[in-house]
Structure 1
C-alpha cells in the first residue's frame, strides 16, 4: 500500500513507524512543511500508560524517548502565601527531542521523510514529482495539527465543529527547572494570572501562562508585542522564577497569546483520507494529553489497517473505536477548561481547599478523597506516597522491559 502522511509531528511520524513495523512492504512518505528540527513549542508531558504502549509497539524508539525524559513527582499549587500538594508523577521531554527521535527511527525503517514542503491540495501539490502525486496514494493521513489543511479540504464531510474558549494563554519556556508540576497563581491589582510549569529537560522548563480575557486586556497584553508581554510576566512571577527569564522564542518564532479551540469531527475519515491527533480532535492543555492521544490514534489506525485488508473497513473500524474511546477524555477536558475559565469562583479559597477544587474539577469525588487530600499535605505522608510511587515505577519498568534502578527500599538497605 502507498501511504502519505501530511504532517511530521508525533502523530504522523508515529503512525508511519507503527505501520512500517506491522508490514515493511508498505511504501510510506511523511511530508512536513517545516525544516528538520523545527518545532513551535517547548515540552510535552505523558504518563506510564503511554510508555507501556510505546514499549509494546516499538521498543527502539520507546527506549530513546524514556532516556531523554525527565521524571517529575507531585503537583505543587502555589496560591497566596501557602503551597499545597497533589499526589502523582509523570514524565516530560522536549518536543524537539521527541520529534528528532521519531524522525530518525522513521528513516531507519525506510520511511521517506520530506521537509520544507507545504501541501495545500491533495491533487498534484506544488513541487511533488509528476509520477508520484498525492492523488495516487492508497491512503492519505491528515496529521497536520489543529489548523489542519487536510481537514479543511473536507470539513463538511468530516462534520467539523470548533468552539473557542475565552481565556488567553501563551506558551513559554524558562531556564528555571521545576522538579514538580507547578501551578503558581498571582493576584495583581488588575486581576489574577497563573502559570502551569514542568521540566522539559535538564536545562529548561515549559511555562504556560494563562489569565481571563478581562485581566489580559486590563494589563494591556492585547496591545503589547511578545517581548514586552514576556517582560511584564517576568515581573509578575519573579518570586517563582528565582531570577530566571521567560523565553518567548522557540526555534526562532515568537510566542503568541492564544485562545484554545476545541475541535471535534463527526467522522475521522472520508474516502481514503483519515485524520489523527489534533487534526481529528483537540483536548484542553490543562489535562496534558494532546501528544499522548495523538500517538494512541497513530497506533490504533495502524493496527486497524493491519487487521482489515479492506481499507474502507479499516478506516471505519478506526473511526468507531477511537471516537468512542475519546468521549470521556473530551468530556473531562471540557470540564477542566470550564473550571479554569470560571476560576474566580475558587480563588478566594485557601491554598489547600483551592488545590482540592482543582484536583476534582473533572468530576465529583467521594467525601473520603478530601480527607486523603488533607493527609497528603503532611510531609511524612507525601514522602511515604513518593516511596510507593518509586516502587510502582520500578515494577512498571521491569514489566515493560525498561532498564531501571532498584526500588527505593532496596537502595536504602544497600546504602
Structure 2
C-alpha cells in the first residue's frame, strides 16, 4: 500500500526507528517525528541489546544496526553473592548510552529523509497524516486519550526499583545483592561505555519502608533525584562500586507498571512500544520491544492492500510474541522480588536458577551457551564433582540423581507412585494464576501437616510453571518433602525445577498440553 504522510508521536528509539523504516519503504511520503523534548536531552543511562535483538535489527536494516554496534559497548555477565562469583562469558551482549542511541537513530532517520521536530507537544487531535504512530512511552497521552476504545489495563508490581549510574565501567554485567540492617537490595548493573555503567537497584516494600525511603520518595519531585537513597545505596554497594559514586537522572523509587491493551490501534492511529505494552526490565528492555514492533509494523504495511488490514495484521502477528514475553517477564519479576530467599544457594546453582527462572531457557540451552558454568551449577545441585556431570542427556541425568533426606536415600528424583497414596502424603491441588497472589498465600501459609506435599493440577505448561513456583515457596516455609506433578511433555521444566532448587521430587501425569 502507499503512504503519503506519517506522523510519529515520540522521539524515543521506537519512534525514530519506525520513522526510518517507513521512510525507506515509502521514500515519497512525508514522515515526521514529533518529540516534545529537546534532541540532546534524555533520561536514563544505558540500553542493553541482546544477540537475538541484534539479529532482528540486522535483518530489518543492517545500516542502522551497524551504526549502533559501532559505538556500543560489549560485555559479559556475572552473578556475585558475598565472595562467590559466577561468570557467564557472552561477548555478544551489547549496551549503549541512551543518549548515544538516540543520536545514532536521529542521524539515521534524517539520512533517510525523516523530518524531526522537537520542543512542541502534539497530540492525535491536531494531526492529519495518513498514519499516526503513537510511540509516546509508558505514560502515553495517546493511549490515555483512547483508553476506552483500546481496553487498557495497568498492573503495578509489588517491588520497588530505581535507575541510577556510576562513572566507571564495570568489568561485566553483574547481579549482586547487598544485605543491610533494613533488608536486602539487589543491583542489576552493566557497563555501557568505557567510563559509565547503569545501576538498577530493587528491593521489597518492607525493606524500602524500614530504610525510610517511603519518606524520601515523598520528598523527591519527579524531576529530581532521591539523594538520600543514592548515598545509602553507595554504601550498600561499595564493593561492586569500587569506591565510585552513584549518580542520578530523575532517580527516585517507583514500581513497575505492566501495561496491556485489548487493541493497539483505532482508525489510523497505532500504538508502538511502551505505549501499547510493557514487560519487566529483567527479561527485555522497552527499547527492544519498541524496535521489534517497528519492524513488524513496517512489514505489515508493506504487505497489505490498505491501512485497516495493515494495522490488523501488525497486531495479529506481533501480539503473540508480546503476550508470551509479558508472561515470562511477569514470572521473572516475581522471581526477582523473592530473590533474597535464594541466597543460601551456591552461586553457580543460583545462576542456573536465574537462567531458567521464567521457562524461557531450559537446561539444555543454558548448557549449550555456557557449558562450564551450567556444569558447575548442576554439580552443586547434585552434590558431585564438576567432572561427574555429563556433556549430554542432562535432563535425564538431573532426574536420575539420588536424594537423601532425614537419613533416607531415594534412588532418583522421580517420585514413586506409591508415595502419592501414602498416609503421610497430602495431595494439594494447585491451579492458580500466580504463585504470589492471595490464593497462593493461603496454600503456602497453611500447608497440610504432612511429611510429603504432592502438588498436582492442570497439565498446562503455564500452570506447571506456577506449581513449581508454589513448591519453591513451600520449601521455604516447611520441612516437608515437596513433589511437583507435571506431564512428560514438559520434562525440561520439571528438570529445571529440580536443578534450581524449586522442588525436591517430580512426578509424571498422563499427558500435557502444548
Q: What TM-score, normalized by structure 2, do the two folds share? A: 0.68
Question: What's the offset of the Cα at 1:56?
Answer: 3.1
Match 1:85 to one of 84, 87, 99: 87
- Please give the residue correspondences for 1:7-22 in structure 2 after superposition, counting only pairs within 5 Å: 7-22=10-25
Match 2:358 to one of 359, 362, 371: 362
- Please give the residue correspondences for 1:198-347 in structure 2 after superposition, counting only pairs within 5 Å: 198-224=190-216, 225=220, 226-249=226-249, 254-347=250-343
Question: What's the offset of the Cα at 1:87?
Answer: 4.9
Mapped contact 1:80–1:351 kept (Cα < 8 A): no
1:96 matched to which residue of 2?
99
Going from structure 1 to structure 2, the CA distance change for 1:94 and 1:306 (only over 3 Å counts) comes to same
CA root-mean-square deviation: 2.1
2:476 matched to which residue of 1?
none
Question: What's the offset of the Cα at 1:36?
Answer: 0.9
Q: Aligned to 1:199, what secondary structure does the other structure show?
A: strand
Mapped contact 1:85–1:376 kept (Cα < 8 A): no
Q: Deviations over 1:350-409 (max 9, x none)?
A: 32232222222112845996896453579x99xxxxxxxxxxxxxxxxxxxxxxxxxxxx
Question: What's the offset of the Cα at 1:301?
Answer: 0.5
Which one scores higher on RCO, CA 8 angstroms, separation ≥ 6? Answer: 1
Q: Aligned to 1:337, what secondary structure does the other structure show?
A: helix
2:173 matched to which residue of 1?
181
2:463 matched to which residue of 1?
none
Distance of 2:354 and 2:54 partners within structure 1: 26
Structure with the greater alpha carbon radius of gyration: 2
1:193 matched to which residue of 2?
185
Question: What's the offset of the Cα at 1:45?
Answer: 0.6
Distance of 2:279 and 2:374 partners within structure 1: 30
Going from structure 1 to structure 2, the CA distance change for 1:366 and 1:184 (only over 3 Å counts) comes to closer
Q: Deviations over 1:20-46 (max 9, x none)?
A: 111201111110011012111001111
Q: Aligned to 1:20, what secondary structure does the other structure show?
A: helix
Question: What's the offset of the Cα at 1:294?
Answer: 0.8
Mapped contact 2:355–2:366 kept (Cα < 8 A): no
Consecutive unaligned residues of structure 2, counting only runs of 5 or more, are 221-225, 380-385, 388-514
Question: What's the offset of the Cα at 1:51?
Answer: 2.4
Distance of 1:48 and 1:366 partners within structure 2: 19
Whether 1:48 and 2:44 are equivalent positions in the alignment is: no
2:38 matched to which residue of 1?
35
Q: Deviations over 1:59-98 (max 9, x none)?
A: 332221001111112x211112311234534111011101
Q: What TM-score, normalized by structure 1, do the two folds share? A: 0.83
Mapped contact 1:5–1:16 kept (Cα < 8 A): yes
Mapped contact 2:168–2:194 kept (Cα < 8 A): no
Q: Aligned to 2:247, what secondary structure does the other structure show?
A: coil
Distance of 2:353 and 2:363 partners within structure 1: 13
Q: Deviations over 1:283-342 (max 9, x none)?
A: 101113321111010111011111113000000000100001222211110110011122
Distance of 1:347 and 1:365 partners within structure 2: 21
Q: Deviations over 1:172-200 (max 9, x none)?
A: 01012113110111111211011011111
Match 2:156 to one of 164, 167, 176: 164
Mapped contact 1:262–1:282 kept (Cα < 8 A): yes
Distance of 2:199 and 2:230 partners within structure 1: 11
Q: Aligned to 2:154, what secondary structure does the other structure show?
A: strand
2:78 matched to which residue of 1?
76
Distance of 1:71 and 1:194 partners within structure 2: 23
Mapped contact 1:174–1:245 kept (Cα < 8 A): yes
Whether 1:139 and 2:131 are equivalent positions in the alignment is: yes
Going from structure 1 to structure 2, the CA distance change for 1:356 and 1:51 (only over 3 Å counts) comes to closer
Consecutive unaligned residues of structure 1, counting only runs of 5 or more, are 125-133, 382-415
